[in-house]
Amino acid sequence: MWMHATCFLDFNIPVATPFLFMLRPRSGWQQWVGREQYVLTPSVPAVEFTDPFGNLCQRLVAPPGQFSVHTSVDIESADFSDTAPGAPFVEVQLLPDETLPFLLPSRYCESDRFSQMASSIVAGWAPGYDQCAAIVDYIRRTTQYTPGAGQEIISACEVNQRSQAVCRDMAHLGIACCRALSIPARMVVGYLEKLQPMDLHAWFEAYVGGRWYTFDPTQDDLQGGRVAIAYGRDAADVAIYTQFGDPVELLGMEVTVERMAAPSY
Amino acid sequence: MWMHATCFLDFNIPVATPFLFMLRPRSGWQQWVGREQYVLTPSVPAVEFTDPFGNLCQRLVAPPGQFSVHTSVDIESADFSDTAPGAPFVEVQLLPDETLPFLLPSRYCESDRFSQMASSIVAGWAPGYDQCAAIVDYIRRTTQYTPGAGQEIISACEVNQRSQAVCRDMAHLGIACCRALSIPARMVVGYLEKLQPMDLHAWFEAYVGGRWYTFDPTQDDLQGGRVAIAYGRDAADVAIYTQFGDPVELLGMEVTVERMAAPSY
Amino acid sequence: MWMHATCFLDFNIPVATPFLFMLRPRSGWQQWVGREQYVLTPSVPAVEFTDPFGNLCQRLVAPPGQFSVHTSVDIESADFSDTAPGAPFVEVQLLPDETLPFLLPSRYCESDRFSQMASSIVAGWAPGYDQCAAIVDYIRRTTQYTPGAGQEIISACEVNQRSQAVCRDMAHLGIACCRALSIPARMVVGYLEKLQPMDLHAWFEAYVGGRWYTFDPTQDDLQGGRVAIAYGRDAADVAIYTQFGDPVELLGMEVTVERMAAPSY
Amino acid sequence: MWMHATCFLDFNIPVATPFLFMLRPRSGWQQWVGREQYVLTPSVPAVEFTDPFGNLCQRLVAPPGQFSVHTSVDIESADFSDTAPGAPFVEVQLLPDETLPFLLPSRYCESDRFSQMASSIVAGWAPGYDQCAAIVDYIRRTTQYTPGAGQEIISACEVNQRSQAVCRDMAHLGIACCRALSIPARMVVGYLEKLQPMDLHAWFEAYVGGRWYTFDPTQDDLQGGRVAIAYGRDAADVAIYTQFGDPVELLGMEVTVERMAAPSY
């Protein structure tokens, strides 16, 4: 299906402030960028680099005053996310090299402290996909998805002590549990069609059965309509913007996602 | 300045044929992509990867029948390409690691066979930028830029035996001479405003004085209006398309470049 | 100076267990490997890959029974680590791309929670090297270096609540504070001559004045005699071994470092 | 099997000369480095980096006078190189991204000019491994392996016009033909046990049936006893040394390879 997604960020900048943005979705094996726009107002010099996870990152210095970033994308994405009940666990020695960093604990996913909890959640399930599904199911049952409840980014350990969480928190918990079972897991930030309320979204992917599969503890079923903007170990790696120096004010943020007809520009 | 550039390729495909395309300009330190479109007709699954030079490459299988690729970009680029007469040669031991592959001979730049010729061309010039300028000047004097004269890609050695050449050939000769003097040099494929006749263009960059500088043997002065699409060692690395299997027919190709007002999408 | 360093690890393996080792020092701009040995007993198939930080990592499956790894290296290293009081802070927009991941918070360095503490520690110091030195000085004054006190890896936030710490903990605290000030900081694991008691060691590097400088909160002065084995964001990235599946028993570990004459093999 | 291999290079350096060396074999999935030595006489500062193909490269400036490099390695390698008659051709669209650069023509492998010749050689053979074997067989029949016949590096096109060739030439011809058939092929430089006369050796690998396989047109059967030192597209990428500036004199070179017992250092 084709989707048109937009993200608008509006800042009040007191003094010239360096920023990193991560707002350019890439064409990958599950999505194809047909059209893309990226507008800085006012226009300032910006450079782009590829981070260690393959994300395109934009570096710039925001000038004092009002500063806004407006991105949009027309993108073709899968109608449904693949599922694979029964897909087997991949023995660590057989994992591709590039998946190994996603086995290590990270800022918001202290997988080193989740061995016991993860083992208990997946007791009785076959190693692999079904374990991931059991983890997602557990998170859904024990945590109430509460958009807007997350001012501060909290880690999987902290999430675990609460009953309400945002998408990011639930992804962190899922990732921490998968890694504790030696299943590579990574964070995805992106757009999701029909999200209520509309916002940027976060979910995770786990590597089982020889490929990455999508898991989303916030959704009852794995509908498609997903656009991946960035991949990383957790929210620290995939912040859509990272700002250095004194905090600046985010005046507003607006996200839209709509289905569209196949373009014929 | 802002430019709107388009490239249209139209193929007749007898049997399903794998392709690599390199048609997505990246934002870099000299250009910023404001809008970009990439349309495949008919629409087919495509994946994208980053090659060892940082270029975004698109992989797909073109289906039998007529197949076309239509890309366009709104891009902000420098009004003038920087020049730096007198910029010094960088001793090989001080070159950044990532410039070293651009010292080695490559398919169309047999720099290992140009030591004598390069030394003779730059006799009397200060090592560095001025040597590169002397090489470009030599190529301009001895080779007649003849757009359309190049059906087949020929190497610097072969170019050297002819008096007429296309932009690609002249870049290959310049690169081979620079490398023969231990100056890293790389090929650029891209758009150039006001090129006559309009087409995709090729030029080269040399690393002197601590950064890459633009050189273009086909142009009398280094006006701006350049959009880099891909970087590589020579034409083998930066083909805008590489096709595998039996040759397919390119029915048509059209390139446009126009200056535009700063966009306000 | 030339040094001979060895590391011996001895395990009791109940069931075949996948391991990642990081025990091969690389020649870099501050050290040169003259001889190196890496022996697995019993000998088992092992493969090596380069992780995203450039470390050489060894993958293998340890067979049931006693399993040992014995590495040694003859290496030339600096007599003194460079210091640079007054070296300036590098504005974020001028940092090399590859230093940026070392600005982000990581598993054991929650730099996002250290802004206030870091600012207060460096109050009155010039941005850059002197701030790093002030941070190291603070850690030295407030934390008692207590080799052997660290069974479990704890994070900078946790370190901060204790008065005793191991080298790894003190490095984590230093890194967290540097990053909170927008100074890239990274963990180093390696050998240090004359360490008391002898063991593997951890310290950190900060990027100021255009390069990485060594900082070691556990040592009163920055003597040389250092051999870097691995670099990363924190202890999660540079574990000398990471073991998957049920925990195995480390029967013994022995580290030696001695000065040696320049080799003439 | 375990092997002890050494390489000794002795130069007469008139003026300080920058060098790139590629003389440190890596542990990979087919070989394990047990001990390694790398001695520069006189000792000079050297740095190491990883090139785009994963090879470890050493950079240094050789001082005026006699300068020598002495490397040795104890390495475990396969007793036999795998063969796989019948292993199928991998469709280009299914090739891993990292194999694609090995489909392009390169300095000494002008695969763009070998379509006809390659097709004619493999006529009647099943696409994949058997085509590669037919190419190797053809080279063996038509070219006489003549160690010492190659002062200058020549390209596949040039090799093709001669009846005598060195290992490097024969590898270039094999690679050019494979690539012309859309089979990724890469050059390997290394040691081979029992080579007559003993010297460094070159062969190639082709990607068929989902992995790289060894091919060596100079040997009648694919015995083992191989140590890979470097991988690349052709001899330009894997020169064991590249020297910049005025040519220096290689006073001597000596290579040894011996089988050894499993080490117990």
**Interface confidence (ipTM) of the complex:** 0.94
**B114 chain-D contacts, CB cut-off 8 A:** none
Give a three-class secondary structure readout of D102-156: HHCCECCECHHHCHHHHHHHCCCCCCEHHHHHHHHHHHHHHCEECCCCCCCCCCH
| pLDDT the model gives residue B20 | 96
Q: What is the pLDDT along chain D (265 residues), one digit of tens a residue?
A: 999 999 999 999 999 999 999 999 999 878 999 999 999 999 999 999 999 999 999 999 999 999 999 999 999 998 889 999 999 999 999 999 999 999 999 999 999 999 999 999 999 999 999 999 999 999 999 999 998 876 789 999 999 889 899 999 999 999 999 999 999 999 999 999 999 999 999 999 999 999 999 999 999 888 789 999 999 999 999 999 999 999 999 999 999 999 999 887 7
Band of pLDDT at residue B223, cut at 50, 70 and 90: confident
Distances in whole angstroms, Cα of residue D92 to Cα of each of B20, D89, D112, D119:
10, 9, 16, 17
Residue of B nearest to A263 (CA): B39
Of C29, C35, C76, Cβ closest to residue D36 = C35
Tell me the CB-side half-sphere exposure of residue B3, using CA atoms within 13 A. Answer: 24
Q: Residue B36, SS3? A: strand
What pLDDT does residue C223 have? 79
Cα distance between residue C95 and residue B218, in whole Å: 36
Mean pLDDT (whole number) for B132-151: 91
Alpha helices per DSSP H over B18-128: 115-121
DSSP B260: E
**CB atoms B33 and A28 under 8 Å:** no
Predicted confidence at residue A57, as pLDDT, reads: 95
**pLDDT in the model for residue C83:** 95
What residue of B is the nearest CA neighbor of A60? B29
Contact flag A38-B39 (C-beta cutoff 8 Å): no
* Contact residues, chain A, for C97 at CB < 8 Å: 49
Angle, helices D167-180 vs D129-142, to 10°: value is 140
For residue A185, what pLDDT is reported?
Answer: 98
CB contacts of D180 in chain B (<8 Å) are none
Contact C244 A107 (CB under 8 A): no
Could you tell me which chains touch chain A, where touching means 3 or more CB pairs under 8 A? B, C
**Hey, are the CB atoms on A106 and C182 less than 8 Å from each other?**
no
B53 phi and psi angles, rounded to 5 deg: -100, 0
Contacts with A82 (C-beta within 8 Å, 6 or more apart), sequence order:
A213, A214
Structure tokens at C175: 């890194």
Q: Is C264 helix (H, G, I), strand (E, B) or coil?
A: coil
pLDDT of residue C21: 97
Which residues from chain D sit within 8 angstroms of residue C47, using beta carbons? 27-29
Q: Which domains does chain A have, with CATH numbers?
A: 2-78+241-260 (2.60.40.2250), 92-236 (3.10.620.30)
Q: Which ranges of chain D would DSSP assign to H, the alpha helix?
A: 115-121, 129-142, 156-159, 167-180
**Residue C149: pLDDT over 80:** no
Distance from CA of A29 to the nearest CA of B (A): 5
Contact B54, B96 (CB under 8 A): no
How far CA C18 is from CA of A36, A89, C60, in Å, comes to 44, 14, 6
pLDDT at A30: 84
The whole-number pLDDT of residue D213 equals 97
3-state helix, strand, coil in chain A (%, to 5): 20, 40, 40
Cβ–Cβ gap A49/C97 under 8 Å: yes
The residue of chain A nearest to residue B25, with distances taken between CA atoms, is: A48
Percent of chain C, pLDDT > 90? 89
Sign of CA dihedral C163, C165, C170, C172: negative
Residue C150 has pLDDT above 90, yes or no: no
Which distant-in-sequence residues (6+ apart) come within 8 Å of C221 by Cβ?
A: none
**Chain B residue with minimal CA distance to A27?**
B48
Omega prior to C101 cis, within 30 of 0 = no
CA distance D71 to D6: 6
Q: Taking CB atoms and an 8 Å limit, are D46 and C32 in contact across chains?
A: yes
Q: pLDDT at residue A205 above 80? A: yes
Residue A123 in contact with residue A207, Cβ under 8 Å? no
| Res B149 pLDDT > 80 | no
Out of A20, A97, A236, name the one closest to residue C105 (CB).
A236
pLDDT band for position A224 (cuts 50, 70, 90): confident
Report the C-alpha gap between A36 and A23 in whole angstroms.
10
Query: Order of strands across the sheet with D56-62?
Result: D46-50, D56-62, D17-21, D241-243
pLDDT of residue C132: 98
Task: Looking at the complex, report in whole angstroms how far the Cα of residue A59 sits from the nearest Cα belonging to chain B.
Answer: 10
Query: Out of A27, A32, A37, whose CB is closest to B265?
Result: A37
Give pLDDT tens digits for C43-73. 999 999 999 999 999 999 999 999 999 999 9
Place B221 in a pLDDT band, splitting at 50, 70 and 90.
confident
* D34·C35 Cβ contact <8 A: no
Residue C264 pLDDT exceeds 90: no
Confidence of residue C260 (pLDDT cuts 50, 70, 90): very high
Shortest Cα distance from C3 to chain D (angstroms)?
A: 14
b/e C233-260 (16+ beta carbons within 10 angstroms → b): bbbbbbbbbbbbbeebeeeeeebebeee
The predicted-structure confidence for B172-211, as pLDDT tens digits, reads as follows 999 999 999 999 999 999 999 999 999 999 999 999 999 9
H-state helical runs in chain B = 115-121, 129-142, 156-159, 167-180
Q: How many residues does chain A have?
A: 265
CB C34 within 8 A of CB C46: no
> In chain C, which residue's Cα lies nearest the Cα of A46?
C93
Which residues of chain B make contact with A265, given a CB cutoff of 8 A? Answer: 37, 39, 70, 72
The SS3 assignment for D27 reads: coil
> Taking CB atoms and an 8 Å limit, are C93 and A51 in contact across chains?
no
What subunits touch chain D, counting only 3 or more CB pairs under 8 A?
B, C
**pLDDT for residue B265:** 73
- Tell me the C-alpha distance between C237 and C50, whole Å: 13
Which structure tokens are listed for C138?
A: 């603070």
Q: How many CA atoms lie within 13 A of D161 on its CB side?
A: 4
Which of A14-28, A38-52, B130-144, D147-161 is predicted least confidently? D147-161
A153 and C112 Cβ atoms separated by less than 8 Å: yes
Residues 6+ apart with CB under 8 A from A158: none
> Residue range A77-100: average pLDDT?
95
CA angle D10, D16, D20 (to 5 degrees): 60
Spatial neighbors of B116 by CB under 8 A, at least 6 apart, are none
Whether residue D43 and residue C70 make contact (CB cut-off 8 A), yes or no, is no
Which chain B residues have a beta carbon less than 8 Å from that of A54?
Answer: 50
Q: What is the CA radius of gyration of chain A?
A: 19
Please report the sign of the dihedral spanned by the C-alpha atoms of residue B38, residue B40, residue B43, residue B49: negative
Q: Is A167 exposed, middle or buried (0-12, 13-18, 19+ CB in 10 A)?
A: buried
Quickly list DSSP for C111-147. GGG-HHHHHHHTTTSPTBHHHHHHHHHHHHHHSEE-T
Instruction: Quote the DSSP letter at residue C197.
Output: S
Rounded to an integer, what distance in angstroms lies between the CA atom of residue B106 and that of residue D109?
10
Look up residue B239 and give its amino acid: A
User: Percentage of residues in chain C with pLDDT exceeding 70?
Assistant: 100
Question: Would you call A27 and B47 a contact, using CB atoms and an 8 Å cutoff?
Answer: yes
Chain C residues with CB-CB distance to A under 8 A?
18, 20, 49, 51-52, 57, 59-61, 91-93, 97, 100-101, 103-107, 110, 112, 153, 182, 236-237, 242, 244-245
Tokens of B245: 């299997």
Q: Which two tokens stand for residue B57?
A: 């490459």
Q: How high is the pLDDT of residue B148?
A: 81
Q: Are A229 and A5 in contact (CB under 8 A)?
A: no
Q: How confident is the model at residue B37 (pLDDT cuts 50, 70, 90)?
A: very high
Record: contact A46-B34, CB cut-off 8 A:
no
- Residue A5: phi and psi, rounded to 5, are -125, 145
Find, in chain D, the residue whose alpha carbon is nearest to that of C38.
Answer: D34
Candidates C37, C48, C58; nearest CB to D34: C37
Stretch A41-62: mean pLDDT: 93
CB pairs under 8 A between C and D: 67
pLDDT band at A173 (very low <50, low <70, confident <90, very high): very high
* CB within 8 Å: C46 and D32: yes
Classify strands A2-13 and A65-77 as parallel, antiparallel or unpaired: antiparallel
Does the distance separating the beta carbons of C91 and A59 come in below 8 Å? no
Decide if B105 and D101 are in contact by the 8 Å CB cutoff: no
Residues of A whose CB is below 8 A from B37: 34-36, 265
Q: What is the pLDDT of residues C208-227, one digit of tens each?
A: 999 999 999 999 888 789 99
Find the closest chain B residue to A39 by CA distance: B34
CA dist list (Å): A252 to A193, B12, C22, C163: 21, 49, 46, 43
Comparing C-alpha atoms, which of C263, C254, C260 is closest to residue C71?
C254
User: Residue D234 burial (CB < 10 Å; 0-12/13-18/19+)?
Assistant: buried
Minimal C-alpha gap between D91 and chain C (Å): 27
pLDDT value at position D222? 83
Q: Do D36 and C39 touch (CB under 8 A)?
A: no
Q: Which of A57, A59, A106, A112 to mutate to test the interface with C (most CBs of C within 10 A)?
A: A106
For D107, the closest of B91, B110, B153 (CB atoms) is B110
Is beta strand D249-260 parallel, antiparallel or unpaired with respect to D211-215?
unpaired
Q: Which residues of C120-145 are buried (b: 16+ CB within 10 A; e: fewer)?
A: ebbeeeeebbbbbbbbbebbbeebeb
CA C81 from chain center: how many Å? 15
Convert the pLDDT of each residue in A65-85 to its tens digit: 999 999 999 999 988 899 999
Question: Which pLDDT value is given to residue C30?
Answer: 84
Which of the residues A58, A59, A104, A157 would you substitute to probe the C interface, choosing the one with the greatest number of C C-beta atoms within 10 Å?
A104
Residue D172: φ, ψ to 5°: -60, -40
Q: What is the arithmetic mean of pLDDT over A46-55? A: 92
Which residue among B97, B104, B182 places its CB closest to the CB of D236?
B104
